[in-house]
Structure 1
Amino acid sequence: MSSRTTIVVLSMAAAAALSACGTTPQAAPAAAVATPSASPTRPAGAAALAITDPWVKTAKKSNKGMTAAFGTLVNNSDADITVVSGTSPLSPKVELHEVVEAKGKMVMQPKKGGFVIPARGSLTLQPGGDHIMLVGLAEEVKPGAQISFTLTLADGGTFAFTALGKDFAGAKEDYQPGMDMGGSDG
């Protein structure tokens, strides 16, 4: 190969490489990735689940120390995703909760069947609605704290994310552990 041909080939290769790198990558909505599992609708390695704006209500540590985590779970796959449980180093007990009306009061209770995030859809976890409850806090949650979570999915996969501690004064529901409220099955 002549030196001129080599220069042309190298110039073409450099141009192709530069044009491939010319786009600015989009930032992920949050630093969270689901453990991938291959399926007919999602190739191995694709992040099926994400979360946007994850946060945890600040709380004091006490024998009744409870708080909750919120955000929007986003399903990037073509199949429904069901979250069946969760863990956090902040609490020995993590429950998936819903808020329902019972006897004229808004009460929170474990969500039967877990959280279902529809295909190509989202589920908002918010005060007064679905949320991730932490019971028996190991330490105080201060503003700006970084709280890690791992959610377990019905298919056996997991999803890890970190939520930010924030002050919030609303959502004064009652917590009635173990009480059958006659609410929806999820």
Structure 2
Amino acid sequence: MFTRRSLVLAATVVALAGCGATTTAAAPATSSPSSPPSSSAAAAAGLTITDPWVKTTKEGMTAAFGTLVNNGDAPITIVSGTSTLSPTIELHEVVESDGKMVMRPKKGGFVVPARGTHQLQPGGDHIMLMSVTKEVLPGARIPFTLQVEGGKPLEFTAVGKDFAGGEEDYQPGHK
């Protein structure tokens, strides 16, 4: 017979399993083109990403977004990334310069605080794909690997998503 505590615990596990896609550094994502975004439970310690996505594009540049989550007791720094979609990836930030918002490589990478999060979002920090090798359609599944300073890489799959947002233009010459 289940105790009330057992039922509450079971309900919590089921509810959390239904939340956004999360991938851990300790458990890389694997998926097929017809399956939904990969999902695994967050490890007791380590880096995960929730709801990773890539802005659709026909050619040129695009960007990837999501929320980096640090479940550990020390800050984690992301220093670089790779993807089969682009031979060149940069970690970018958007900052004000001479009264204009500009994108530029983020010196030192992305720091995810201990037991905290770091947003990757349009108009802010993001993963920049410099020369995409194929069109990104809605629903496309794009594999990524983020290199963690002094740690295991984080592997995940991001989904192609249409997004007009603030009319960000991730193309050459964007200022």
* TM bracket, shorter-chain basis: 0.7 to 0.9
**Which residue of 2 is the match for residue 32 of structure 1?**
23
C-alpha separation in 1, matches of 2:66 and 2:169: 18
C-alpha separation in 2, matches of 1:145 and 1:175: 20
CA contact (8 A) 1:91 1:135 kept: yes
Q: 1:23 Cα deviation (Å)?
A: 2.3
CA contact (8 A) 1:148 1:160 kept: yes
Q: In the alignment, is residue 23 of structure 1 matched against residue 10 of structure 2?
A: yes
Gaps of 5+ in 2: 28-42
**Which residue of 1 is the match for residue 51 of structure 2?**
53
C-alpha separation in 2, matches of 1:166 and 1:106: 24
Aligned amino acid, residue 10 of structure 2? T
C-alpha separation in 2, matches of 1:174 and 1:144: 19
Q: 1:174 Cα deviation (Å)?
A: 7.5
* Aligned-pair Cα RMSD in Å: 2.5
**Which residue of 2 is the match for residue 39 of structure 1?**
none
Kindly report which structure 2 residues correspond to 1:1-186, keeping only aligned pairs within 5 A, or say none: 23-24=10-11, 25=13, 26-27=16-17, 29-35=20-26, 46-61=44-59, 65-169=60-164, 170-172=166-168
Q: 1:156 Cα deviation (Å)?
A: 3.4
Q: 1:161 Cα deviation (Å)?
A: 0.9
Task: Please list the CA deviations of residues 143-169 of structure 1 after superposition, one character each: whole Å capped at 9, or x if unmatched.
Answer: 111111100001131001111111112
Q: 1:173 Cα deviation (Å)?
A: 6.0
Query: TM-score by structure 2 length?
Result: 0.76
1:23 aligns to what SS in structure 2?
helix
CA contact (8 A) 2:56 2:162 kept: yes
CA contact (8 A) 1:107 1:175 kept: no
Name the % identity.
61
Q: 1:29 Cα deviation (Å)?
A: 4.2
Q: Max radius of gyration: which structure?
A: 1
**Which residue of 1 is the match for residue 33 of structure 2?**
none
Aligned amino acid, residue 34 of structure 1? A
Task: Please list the CA deviations of residues 15-44 of structure 1 after superposition, one character each: whole Å capped at 9, or x if unmatched.
Answer: 79xx979825331642412138xxxxxxxx
Aligned amino acid, residue 35 of structure 1? A
C-alpha separation in 1, matches of 2:118 and 2:53: 15
Q: 1:49 Cα deviation (Å)?
A: 1.1
Query: TM-score by structure 1 length?
Result: 0.72
Task: Please list the CA deviations of residues 31-76 of structure 1 after superposition, one character each: whole Å capped at 9, or x if unmatched.
Answer: 412138xxxxxxxx74511111111100112xxx100001111111
